[in-house]
Structure 1
Amino acid sequence: MRQFLPISALLLGSAFLLFAGGVNGLILPVRGTAEGFSSFSLGLLGTGWAIGYVSGCLATPGLVSRVGHIRSFGVMAALAAISILASLLLLTPWAWIPLRAISGFCFAGAAMIVESWLSERAAPSERGRVFGIYTMVNLFSSTAGQMVLTLGDTRGFLFFVVGAIFYCMALVPTAISSSASPKPLFNVKIDLRGLLRNSPVALFGVFLVGISNSAFGTLSAVYAERVGLELTSIALFASLPVLAGAVAQVPVGYLSDRTDRRWVLVGLAVVAASSELAFILWQPANQAANLALAAGFGAAIFSMYPVILAHANDHAAEGTAIQVSGGLLMVFGFGGIAGPLIAGVGMSQIGPAGLFATSIASHILLILFTVYRIRARSAVPDADKQSFSATPMAKNATPATAVLAASDAEIREELNSDHEPPADAQENTPENPS
Structure 2
Amino acid sequence: MRRNLLPILALLCGTLLLFLGNGLQSLLLPVRGAQEGYSNEVLGLLGTTWASGFVIGCFVAPNVVRRIGHVRAFSGFLSLICLNVLLTGLMVDQNTWLVLRAITGFCTAGTSMIIESWLNERATSESRGTIFSFYISITLFGVVGGQLMVPFADISTPTLFMICGIFYSLAALPTTLSKAASPQPLKRARLDLRGLFRNSPISCIGILLIGTANGAYGTLGAVFGTRAGLDQGAVAAMVSITLFAGAIMQFPAGRLSDRMDRRHVLAGLSAAAALAGLAILVIHPTGTYQIVVLVAIYGAAANALYPIAVAHANDFAAPEDFVKVSGGLLLLYGIGTIIGPTLGGPVMTWAGPHALFAVTTGAHLLVAAYAIIRSRQRAPVPIAERDAYTTAPASTSPLATPESLSLDPRAKTGGSTPESVRPDTNAGKEAS
TM-score, normalization by structure 2: 0.94
Matches within 5 A, 1:21-420: 21-393=22-394, 395-409=398-412, 412-414=415-417
Does 1-10 or 155-164 show the bigger shift? 1-10
Q: Is the 8 A contact 2:318 2:427 kept in 1?
A: no
Q: CA deviation at 1:324?
A: 1.5
**Cα deviation 1:250-284 (Å, max 9, x = unaligned):** 11011100100000000011101110111011011
Unaligned runs of 5+ in 1: 416-420, 426-434
Q: Which secondary structure state, in structure 2, belongs to the residue aligned with residue 377 of structure 1?
A: coil
Q: Aligned equivalents of 1:182 and 1:386: distance in 2?
A: 28
Instruction: Name the counterpart of 1:16.
Output: 17
Q: CA deviation at 1:3?
A: 3.0
Q: Aligned equivalents of 1:407 and 1:384: distance in 2?
A: 14
Aligned residue identity for 1:360: T
Q: CA deviation at 1:364?
A: 1.6
- Amino-acid identity (%): 41
Q: Aligned equivalents of 1:120 and 1:162: distance in 2?
A: 32
Distance 1:42-1:36 versus aligned 2 partners, 3 A rule: same
Q: CA deviation at 1:381?
A: 1.4
Unaligned runs of 5+ in 2: 419-423
Distance 1:410-1:9 versus aligned 2 partners, 3 A rule: closer
Q: Aligned equivalents of 1:198 and 1:215: distance in 2?
A: 27
Aligned residue identity for 1:392: P
Distance 1:208-1:272 versus aligned 2 partners, 3 A rule: same
Aligned residue identity for 1:140: F
Q: Aligned equivalents of 1:265 and 1:184: distance in 2?
A: 37
**Cα deviation 1:58-94 (Å, max 9, x = unaligned):** 1122111110001110111011011111112221211
Q: Is the 8 A contact 2:21 2:146 kept in 1?
A: yes
Does 115-124 or 300-309 show the bigger shift? 115-124
Distance 1:15-1:66 versus aligned 2 partners, 3 A rule: same
Aligned residue identity for 2:290: A
Q: Which secondary structure state, in structure 1, belongs to the residue aligned with residue 318 of structure 2?
A: coil
Distance 1:169-1:290 versus aligned 2 partners, 3 A rule: same
Q: Aligned equivalents of 2:149 and 2:158: distance in 1?
A: 14
Q: Which secondary structure state, in structure 1, belongs to the residue aligned with residue 81 of structure 2?
A: helix
Q: CA deviation at 1:396?
A: 4.8
Instruction: Name the counterpart of 1:431.
Output: none
Aligned residue identity for 2:283: W
**Cα deviation 1:134-181 (Å, max 9, x = unaligned):** 110010001100001121111111110011111111110010010111
Q: Is the 8 A contact 2:20 2:146 kept in 1?
A: yes
Q: Is the 8 A contact 1:322 1:414 kept in 2?
A: no
Aligned residue identity for 2:48: T
Q: Aligned equivalents of 2:409 and 2:121: distance in 1?
A: 12
CA RMSD of aligned residues (A): 1.8
Q: Which secondary structure state, in structure 2, belongs to the residue aligned with residue 178 of structure 1?
A: coil
Q: CA deviation at 1:318?
A: 1.8
Distance 1:4-1:209 versus aligned 2 partners, 3 A rule: same
Q: Which secondary structure state, in structure 2, belongs to the residue aligned with residue 395 of structure 1?
A: coil
Q: CA deviation at 1:423?
A: 12
Q: CA deviation at 1:56?
A: 1.4
Q: Aligned equivalents of 2:231 and 2:399: distance in 1?
A: 27
Distance 1:236-1:78 versus aligned 2 partners, 3 A rule: same
**Cα deviation 1:317-346 (Å, max 9, x = unaligned):** 122222221111111000011100100010
Distance 1:190-1:313 versus aligned 2 partners, 3 A rule: same
Distance 1:303-1:122 versus aligned 2 partners, 3 A rule: same
Aligned residue identity for 1:402: L
Q: Aligned equivalents of 1:275 and 1:423: distance in 2?
A: 36
Aligned residue identity for 2:223: V
Structure 1 stretches of 4+ moved >2 Å = 396-401, 406-415, 421-425
Figure out how many residues of one structure are paired with residues of the other and give that number.
420
Aligned residue identity for 1:409: K
Distance 1:214-1:408 versus aligned 2 partners, 3 A rule: closer
Instruction: Name the counterpart of 2:421.
Output: none
Q: CA deviation at 1:408?
A: 4.6
**Cα deviation 1:264-315 (Å, max 9, x = unaligned):** 0000111011101110110111111100001000001100001101101101
TM-score, normalization by structure 1: 0.93
Q: Which secondary structure state, in structure 2, belongs to the residue aligned with residue 362 of structure 1?
A: helix
